[in-house]
Amino acid sequence: MNEAKLYPDDPRLTAYALGELEGDERAAVELALKTDAAARAAVDEIRDTARQLEAALAAEPMPTVKLIAATPAQRAAIVPGRDPRKLDGGPLPLQNLIRFPQACFLVAGLAAACFAVMLTLHESEVGRLEEPINAVKLEEIMKATAESHARKADADAAIVKPSSYTEVTFPVAAIPVGRVELQAKTQEIAEADKKVVLAEAMAPKQNVDAAAPVSRAVVAEKNQSPPQAVAADKTAMLGAAVASNQPAKEETIQISEFEVSAAPVHGYDASETMTGTRVNTAITDLPFADSDFLSVAQNPLSTFGLDAGMASYANVRRFLQAGGRPPADVVRIEELVNYFPYAYAAPRDHAPLAATLEVAAAPWAPTHRLVRIGLKAREVPAGGMRVTVAKDVKVQVAFNPAQVESYRLIGYNGSPLKNKDFSKNVIPPAGDLAAGHVVTALYEIVPVGVELPGGDALKYGKVESQESRVVGASSKELLIVTVRYTPPEGGASQQLEFPLMDHGAAFAEASMDFKFAAAVAGFGMILRDSPDKGSATLAEVEQWAGQGLGSDAGGYRAEFVGLVHQAEKLKE
Amino acid sequence: MKPTSDQPEESHAHDTHWVETTVARYQAPLTRYATRLLGDTERARDVVQDSFARLLAQPRDAVDGHAVEWLFTVCRHRALDVLRKEGRIMRFEEGAVDRVADAAPRPGHELERAETHAALLRLIGLLPANQQEVVRLKFQNGFSYKEISRITQLSVTNVGFLIHTAVARLRREWTAQAE
């Protein structure tokens, strides 16, 4: 393969950058690099990233180790006289094993980890934190947690392993990885006008009963910092309620309740799993309810954000692998769907983005249509820094009232950007689109003539919009996706339109990516126990995912199927 | 067979010293690797002890020149045995060693670096399990593609692809965070 051009998705670039290529392959890449400045820059970037990864991974704390020294009998097994080999791998001098006087920091880092997780959840939800979490509060919490952990660590370090080895124990604080019992102490932190009371929450005991204690977090003063509350459960997931800092509203005083729910929920007996904790986050004024179907007549336009985030998938995975069911509010379907790579066509000509639209029957409700909208930004040749290909991007979906009775955007629950806002002419979210960025949105559509879940018949009329093309009742299109943006170099705003015709495809006729995305959405709905999950079962989710596995580069989809198995096991 | 002159000083010592050095040097990283595979430190310690026991039971010639790779391979094998026996899928703990990354910016290079590392570790933790494993084998334990291929039983091409994908994704997410 002696192509002159090295594209960003060529694994040889990384292999070469890391010194893994040899012989002819190496020579070929070097030749191509000679005339490709962008690719050379990409190689530099890869090496830079590699260095950062090495540094970060080297900083990752080590588990407790007890030095093992072999007995003389075992040493004798080794033929004397040879040199010890030149050992590769990341060398760690002995000193590093006991380098942690900040041990309490590390241990406390676990507590902080959970904050970080919840902060991430919060971030992805509202787009950005209104105010960063106060560093002082976190330090206090970390210290408090460290103290309780140091006590536990001592107990841990005393464990002796039976073996034929002689053991030497180092005084390193134990860093329990995995199930962690956390205690956050109640603290009052006075700071100028601020006053935050952190909840004291105890890790639930092994046998949870319905009368388990409820911990509350109460936020004080208005105008000030976000309230925080901490609840702990055995799988080390903290729930923290973070309210965005809204100025001068009495109503910002939020009370978050953390209760351990032992009631079985639709096949999941929470009392038998580790996690029964439900988290009510008071992030926005809107409850965490699943989207209802919206009638086209009253809500002709819909929108969705470009950045879905990845944290929810990792959190769901963590819960399931720990043997527990993720709380509904941890399951963000749009993040689950967007975690996976899909093959979308790149934009042609000079368009900054392209849309891939597909529609087929919704597998959990075959009389409904499921629409997949994929937006893919233009790639720039290898070596660019994160390049913006379009600024101020706004996405709008307009439905044809002759074909669509109602619709719902799957996921994005609790987002302050409800569809209703759109029809009140509230400005939709606009963001800059980076090169190569991809976002996927799913809509479930109730076609005209199909009865709504509620059984209500809806009237629909002409849909008008000043900003985008009218989807007239006589049009043959199911919907139109309109993307407005400003070119990065400036100039007048531009508009791209992507219509979608529905040819009545059955689910079986859909693409593999479609089937897989549907499986992920179905999985999310089951985990959330969504009223819209229709006839979806985990067994079917697994089937759909199986049909959508494809080549599964990177193993993402296979891992998902594994998670579905885990969830199925929970039911048993 | 006698020591060659270009070996480091410690190589001239007895084999007991080599054994102790190997254990001292690699017990912790091996335990860290095993913990990722198994999900908890207790079981990881058992598997690591077992791996060292097996290493010592080997005739020196069999492992000489690639003892560390051998250790990781055996450790992985043992860990998968444990997982199979328990009916668990292979899994990795992500986020378990995170630090706060979202606190208000604080002065001082040390803290900034720690936060950077924590943020990057968290991003690594969001990758699929198989990508995480090869990323750690490569960038945390320093193995080559070929060695990783032998340890994980994946083809070298597959390893290269996984690392390429992971590095690209981490780069993208990382620069996105920086904005």
Encode pLDDT of A483-504 as tens digits.
999 998 889 999 999 999 999 9
Q: Is A231 helix (H, G, I), strand (E, B) or coil?
A: strand
Contact A351, A315 (CB under 8 A): no
Contact B15 A113 (CB under 8 A): no
A93 — pLDDT class (breaks 50, 70, 90): very low
Average pLDDT of every residue of chain A: 66
Residue keyed to tokens 């919060």:
A122
Contact B172 A321 (CB under 8 A): no
Contact B16 A117 (CB under 8 A): no
Give B76 to chain A, closest Cα distance, Å.
16
**Residues of chain B with C-beta less than 8 angstroms from the C-beta of A79:** 15, 59-61
B42 — pLDDT class (breaks 50, 70, 90): confident
Read off φ and ψ for residue A355, nearest 5 degrees.
-115, 140
**Residues of chain A with C-beta less than 8 angstroms from the C-beta of B37:** none
CA separation, residue A154 to residues A67, A100, A173, B49 (Å): 17, 15, 7, 21
Exposure of A58 by Cβ count < 10 A (0-12 exposed, 13-18 middle, 19+ buried)?
A: middle
Span A344-398, pLDDT tens digits: 998 988 899 999 999 999 999 999 999 999 999 998 876 655 788 999 999 999 9
Cα–Cα distance for residue pair A198/B152, rounded to 1 Å? 45
Contact B164 A385 (CB under 8 A): no
Span A270-320, pLDDT tens digits: 232 223 232 222 233 333 455 578 888 888 889 888 887 778 898 899 888
Read off φ and ψ for residue A554, nearest 5 degrees.
90, -10
Q: A311-321 and A103-126 helices cross at what angle (nearest 10)?
A: 120
| CB nearest A132 (choices: B68, B103, B179) | B103
Higher confidence at residue A79 or residue A332? Answer: A332
Span A224-252, pLDDT tens digits: 333 333 333 333 333 333 333 333 333 33
pLDDT of B109 reads 63
CA separation, residue B162 to residues A68, A345, B7, B147 (Å): 34, 22, 35, 14
Contact B101, A116 (CB under 8 A): yes
Cα–Cα distance for residue pair A244/A225, rounded to 1 Å? 8
Contact A203, A292 (CB under 8 A): no
From A55, which residue of chain B is nearest by alpha-carbon distance?
B117
Percent of chain A with pLDDT over 90: 33
Cα–Cα distance for residue pair B99/A524, rounded to 1 Å? 28
Cα–Cα distance for residue pair B94/A434, rounded to 1 Å? 27
User: What's the N-to-C CA distance of chain B in angstroms?
Assistant: 59
Q: Which amino acid is at A101?
A: P
| CB nearest A88 (choices: B68, B103, B118) | B68
From B65, which residue of chain A is nearest by alpha-carbon distance?
A85
Residue keyed to tokens 């000083």:
B9
**Residues of chain A with C-beta less than 8 angstroms from the C-beta of B1:** 81-82
B87 — pLDDT class (breaks 50, 70, 90): low
Tell me: pLDDT of A441 over 90.
Answer: yes
**Residues of chain B with C-beta less than 8 angstroms from the C-beta of A12:** 160
Q: Provide the CB-side half-sphere exposure for A538 (13 A, CA).
A: 20
Higher confidence at residue A128 or residue A36? Answer: A36
CB pairs under 8 A between A and B: 300
| CB nearest B102 (choices: A12, A64, A119) | A119
- Of the candidates A182, A179, A180, which has an alpha carbon nearest to the alpha carbon of residue A202? A182
Helix (H) or strand (E) holding A107: helix A103-126
Cα–Cα distance for residue pair A228/A198, rounded to 1 Å? 6
pLDDT of A205 reads 36
Enter the tokens of residue A34: 């000679």
pLDDT of A4 reads 57
Q: B109-125 and B156-177 helices cross at what angle (nearest 10)?
A: 130
pLDDT of A551 reads 85
Average pLDDT of every residue of chain B: 77
Read off φ and ψ for residue B47, nearest 5 degrees.
-65, -40
Residue keyed to tokens 């979308």:
A344
A57 — pLDDT class (breaks 50, 70, 90): very high
Contact B170 A53 (CB under 8 A): yes
Contact B145 A15 (CB under 8 A): yes
Contact B89, A558 (CB under 8 A): no
Exposure of A490 by Cβ count < 10 A (0-12 exposed, 13-18 middle, 19+ buried)?
A: exposed
Give A116 to chain B, closest Cα distance, Å.
6
pLDDT of A338 reads 94
Tell me: pLDDT of A257 over 80.
Answer: no
Cα–Cα distance for residue pair A481/B106, rounded to 1 Å? 44
Give A413 to chain B, closest Cα distance, Å.
22
pLDDT of B133 reads 94
Span A138-193, pLDDT tens digits: 444 455 545 545 554 454 444 433 333 333 333 333 333 333 233 333 333 333 33
Total Cβ atoms within 10 A of residue A459: 9
B-interface mutation test, from A20, A168, A376, most B Cβ less than 10 A away? A20
Going by DSSP bridges, is the β-strand pair A353-362/A301-302 parallel, antiparallel, or unpaired? unpaired
